[in-house]
Structure 1
Amino acid sequence: MTRLRTRPPKPQPPAQVEEGPMGSRFHPTQPPAERRNLDNSHGAPGRSNPPDTAATETKSRKRSAAAAEWDVPQRSGGAVIPASYSRGNAVDPNQPDAGCPPQTRNNEQCILDFTIFDPDAPVIFPSDYYRIVDKESIDQKTPQEDKKVTQKLFPAGWQPGGSISNEMKESLIVKSASRGINADPEPPQFTTMIRERRINETPQPNKLLSESAKLYEAISGIELTCALEAAKIQALEKLTAQQWNNLIMWHQRLIHRHHDLYVCTQYPTTCGDLFKLLVAHKMPPRMLHHGIYAFLEVMKSRLPDSRNYMIQFVQHVYDLMQVLVESAPRFKNMWLECLGDLAAYRMSLESTFSEERITRAKQSTNWYYAAADENYGKGSLYHRLGNLVANDLGRKFFLYSRSLISTERCEKSKSGVESAFVVALQSINSRGPIDPGIPSWFVSAHTLLLRGDSISKFIAYSQEFCALLHLRIAQNLKLNGAGMYLGVPNIAAMLQYGEEEGILRNMFIDSHKLSSEAKLQRAMQYWAKHSTDPPRNTPEDEISSPTATFSTPLEKLSYSTYLAFFTLSTVLSHTHIDEIMPFVHIFLAFIWSLALVPDAMICVEREIPWSKITKFLNSLDQDHASILRLESTNFPIYDRTLFSQIPDDFSIRGQIWSQGIYPDNFFLNPLPKDERGFDTKSSKDTRNERCLWYGYRLASCERWIQLFTDEKTGDRDFRLTSLAEHLEATAKHPDVFKPTQGAIPSRSGRSQPARKRKDR
């Protein structure tokens, strides 16, 4: 193999200070020039460095980018010759393979055998191409004054003899360091990361406001154009590809102008004023309506011809919405909800059981839950989540019920309940081998109550539900998730599903005018004065006839109260089972919220199973609970976990009745979504302490239960008051839902005639 030879070093000015990171004369692998038997070695001018750079005779390192900029090609007889070589090395351009192509970028090697991995490695040159000058001739030469400095690196008008600014020097150092390669024996001493460009000027407020005004005018014009284009196609039976593309173009342009407008609101100097303007002119809702939803409905009405165009548009808007989540976080809740809607639209374009449809449904669900974390009182989010549930009737009804009693009620959920009732009724009336489950009876009973239908049918369905629930709990049915699905709808029924005529619903809404502290103080003062007052017979004293229907709000409140607390009584009959804890925890929170609104508690206190609640509280573990937290009026925050919430909290937050329970910012750092579906040791301990705390709070009212401390052992236990015993004795729910005489629940939960005992 032919021995590798290097190209000659570039001329360099006399050294002044320390050498730059790439300013050495020779590569470490080059042998001394005087040892080579080279003929016709002519002197070459020495190298010239720009100011503030120099070369030394120490260990060789890579040349700086500043020095590389000096190597400007020169021409001799039409052939391009690197500036670092003398004109004596020029080759006749008429000879074959003569000359060298000009340099096109900094530090680019014009050689035949160039290797990108090691640009300074020795390479083979034909002897007639270049002639290498020796080291002594290089030291004797001075920089040529007629060389021109390339304008790529230095500013206009700068001369080699002048000085450069600190910013320019830093830029040169970074550029030279960026030329480093992995094969260097000495890596460059500077990082190869280029710093972010400095912004010297911040847009003035007036300029931003004027730009925003122009964008607003453009948005208004494009909105009008989109409306006109949509009106043009109404009479057309089928659209051409050009018409579809034209519609998509206008709607995308509208969304892009909105994006530009929202970006202007992020500057600190004007974000407050612009944000107020955006809210005043309702810009985000306008973008969602005119730019997205209206057009999607047009495309949806023209399926399947519009399917491909709809996929294209949805994907484009989906990507832009994800950008807006980061660039315009002030409207994050709206962007997250829109992302859930877009994923749902995309899901609707796929076949029923396809993998793509399942994937899009999961995406939509995740976006809706993320939006709920931002605004957990918005009922429409839970309505959309209920629509996405496919094969879980209990969960679907839970989400619809939650939507109806949220602080921002969604009226559409009533139609969702009707659709769930159709499925439940089909299961009940079917003659198949599989008997109806708990959800079918439960949903059917609630739908009759919501409709104002037959009272007798409501009682019959409720009896079937309670009998089957008792049987399933005895068979170790896990109520961790199902407990939430049963508890929230029962509470929603007592609030009459958020309807304006609801008795308890209006009482809770009136109490929202007070702060949490004022509400607690008023409630404690009331119960201190009326702790022994006789109960009011607010619920219906007489059970209606079998042919009657729910006609008044009082009737609906009475029978919903019977169902809710009969269900609680059924569950509390199994205190030895840990799986009932989530359900009981939710109801204890609800009972405490009733105590904070005395007028509401007086309406229903007679039906609450106080004796079973007392028994349940005494069965809890008090040894690992903090006495200080239990005795405090402040909401207990368990200090042994990173997150303050437990899965139950996410099922009842944002509802009309739960506003006075949790402290402010309790959900500011929420439990991760993937950890809300199962219990841990810490969540169980937290729930245990929470239930005890609700017991302590109810005992502080001194009306229904009392707390006693054993002087010898120090143990504390809960006991009923005489008034609570009287309340339970007059409760009507045991008589309303008492099983039919001579009937027992079958394995499926249906009531069947009692079997005759065989004679022995």
Structure 2
Amino acid sequence: MWKHGIHAFLELLRHRLPASLEHMLTFIYLAYSMMALLYETVPAFEATWMECLGDLGRYRMAIEDDDVRDREVWTAVSRRWYSKASDVVPGTGRLYHHLAILARPNVLQQLYFYSKALSAPEPFFAALESIMTLFDPLLGSNNQQSPHGLLFTGKTGSEYQTAVAEFVNNLDNHISRTTRRWMECGYFIAISNCCALLLWGKNSFIYQTIRPKRLKESVEEFNTREILDPSDQRNAKRLEEARHLAEGTFSKVFPRFADPNILPFLHSTLVFYRFMISYPSAMDLLEATFPWKMVSMLLNSLLPSCREYERIQSSDFPRPVKQLPRPLPEDFALRGLLWAEKYYPSDWFSNDKIDDDEKYFEVASMTDERKERVLWLGVSIAQHGKWLLYDDKLHHFSVPSRFEQEIDINMNFDTELMASTPEADTLSRASTLALSSPGDKAMSEAEKDDEDMPDIDDFMTRQPIIRQ
């Protein structure tokens, strides 16, 4: 019905615009009301009806040239239906491809949705072509280059190194300037970087290793069934460049021990690496460039906020006591990704009282819950004893000897912001404790760090690289 009775006729009318505009509007409204009726009366196929309603809303948005407000309304309508459909079938990459198109002109959100479309359990590989509509304008700019775009297109020479350096050097300033608004940017960047480590499924050894066997994508077109060797020079080079981008991002985000705004980034990243532990051959390619020592220090800075150590040491997912699940904003962002499939309990997203507009709304009480979740992930990884170590008597994180190394801890956080928060003293003390093992005299270390701390004025003189 959709293919022959609706979509084919809409395409026929679209190619005859503007003469067919009135007929196209009439038919869109007719088809929309019919699909809405099916959505209400035949719930067995609700995901199908939702996607069809989203497509109709996108057609209506696309032909609206006169009234900007009407265009925004239909954009919101289409986005709502695609979001509802992704809640029903979160592993369908095609829906995130549609959401990426609707995310314009938000470049970072588009990158996130395109990356998610290619990294879902059922990836939508047509997004490999669509994503170039995002990268082409950035790659053609003389003032700003996209490291993700250069990596995606295989341009990983000196131009790529320069783009990564510019992105990393300006990231610290951007986090300081945007403060709480970087919480959303944080998990978008973390997810996009993780997808880049999978090379978006394009001839990636890691992706081949972790992908579900049930996938039936087009082998001939996308070469995803080719037997890949991790030592293959071309693929090894691209993976090395992806790790370079991720490593540079870690170097600026993780040292901000006292900044709660980086926690969504940390949470999303740890979910990815915890999943990779189940695939030793893939983890062997990733472990060396992940800052395990720095993360152990960051986790130690969060431990003073832990009220019940039994919860973070349990094998059960830490969920709220005596209340319905309230997912964190990054939980909704992670949902539907290949590496987050088995992370959440089956009923974690069952609270139907949360409206679409509230999903990504951050409330103050989420900070403590996020800290507990991050610590739980840290303990879960430490149980393997290969990357992190956790002493359940002293409640302290450390790393195996092979990851023990001197780290230049650059406490890059907005001191004015932290001084204005009620938790400033507590967070400052927690950061100091993170730098020492139990029993060490941490005060002298804190004083030494204070002397090396950069001036906040230096942050404010640099321009942020990420522009909305």
- State TM-score, norm by structure 1: 0.50
Looking at both structures, which has the greater relative contact order when contacts are Cα pairs under 8 Å and sequence separation is at least 6? 2
Match of 2:185 among 482, 507, 532: 482
Among residues 371, 377, 401, which one is paired with 1:722 in the alignment?
401
- After superposition, residues 604-623 of structure 1 pair within 5 angstroms as 604-623=286-305
Which secondary structure state, in structure 2, belongs to the residue aligned with residue 480 of structure 1?
Answer: helix
Per the alignment, do residues 422 and 324 of structure 1 end up closer, same or farther by CA in structure 2, a change over 3 Å counting?
same
CA distance in 2, matches of 1:747, 1:636: 40
| CA gap 1:571/1:697 in 2 versus in 1, 3 angstroms | same
User: 2:46 corresponds to which letter in structure 1?
Assistant: K
Alignment map for 1:154-553 (pairs within 5 Å): 287-351=1-65, 354-426=68-140, 428-429=141-142, 436=144, 441=145, 444-475=146-177, 477=179, 478-499=181-202, 501-509=203-211, 552-553=234-235
Q: Which runs of 4+ in 1 moved over 4 A?
A: 510-513, 621-625, 726-729
Q: Is the 8 A contact 1:407 1:656 kept in 2?
A: yes
* Shift, 1:459, TM fit: 1.2
Question: What's the counterpart of residue 629 of structure 1?
Answer: 311
Listed as ranges, the gaps of 5+ residues in structure 1 are 1-286, 431-435, 514-537, 541-549, 730-743, 751-760
**8 Å Cα contact 1:699-1:707 kept in structure 2:** yes
- Give me the TM-score of the superposition, normalised by structure 2: 0.79
Partner of 1:748: 463
SS at match of 1:565: helix
Would you tell me which structure has more helix in proportion to its own residues?
2
Name the amino acid aligned to 2:246: A
Q: What one-letter code is carried by the residue in structure 1 that aligns with 2:235? A: P
Change (3 A) 1:720 1:362: same
Task: Give SS of 2:462's match.
Answer: coil
Q: CA deviation at 1:341?
A: 0.5
CA contact (8 A) 1:476 1:577 kept: no
TM-aligned CA distance change 1:721 to 1:579, over 3 Å:
same
Secondary structure of the corresponding residue to residue 397 of structure 2? strand
Alignment check: 8 A CA contact 1:494 1:561 kept: yes
Q: Once the 2 structures are TM-superposed, how far is the Cα of residue 666 of structure 1 from its aligned partner? A: 3.0
- Structure 1 residue 703 displacement after superposition: 1.7
SS where residue 365 of structure 1 aligns? helix
Give the letter for the 1:479 counterpart. W
Counterpart-to-counterpart distance in 1, 2:322 and 2:261? 22
Amino-acid identity (%): 30
State the Cα deviation string for residues 443-493 of structure 1 (Å, max 9, x = none). x21122111124221111011000010222244543211112211111111
Contact 1:614 1:705 in 2 (8 A): yes
- Contact 1:606 / 1:728 at 8 angstroms: preserved in 2? no
Is 1:584 matched with 2:263? no
Residue-pair matches, total: 400
Structure index of larger Rg: 1
- 1:565–1:352 CA distance, 2 compared to 1 (3 A): farther
Task: Tell me the amino acid that sits aligned with residue 466 of structure 1.
Answer: V
- 1:511 to 1:723, Cα distance in 2 relative to 1, 3 A: farther
| RMSD over equivalenced CA pairs, Å | 2.6
3-state SS, counterpart of residue 619 of structure 1: helix
Question: Could you tell me how far 1:565 is from its partner in structure 2?
Answer: 2.7
1:704 to 384, 387, 390: 387
Distance, in Å, in 2 between the alignment partners of 1:512 and 1:586 is 25
Name the CA distance, whole Å, in 2 between partners of 1:688 and 1:617: 9
1:371, distance to aligned residue in structure 2 (A):
0.7
What secondary structure sits across from 2:391 in the alignment? strand
Counterpart in the other structure of 2:285: 603
Match for 1:569 among 248, 251, 254?
A: 251
* Post-superposition CA distance 1:271-329 (Å, at most 9, x none): xxxxxxxxxxxxxxxx1101111111011111111111111111111111111112111
Q: Report deviation, 1:643.
A: 2.3
1:558 maps to 240
* 1:662 and 2:344 are equivalent in the alignment: yes
Letter in 2 for 1:723: R
What is the 5 A alignment of 1:30-69? none
Counterpart position of 2:445: none
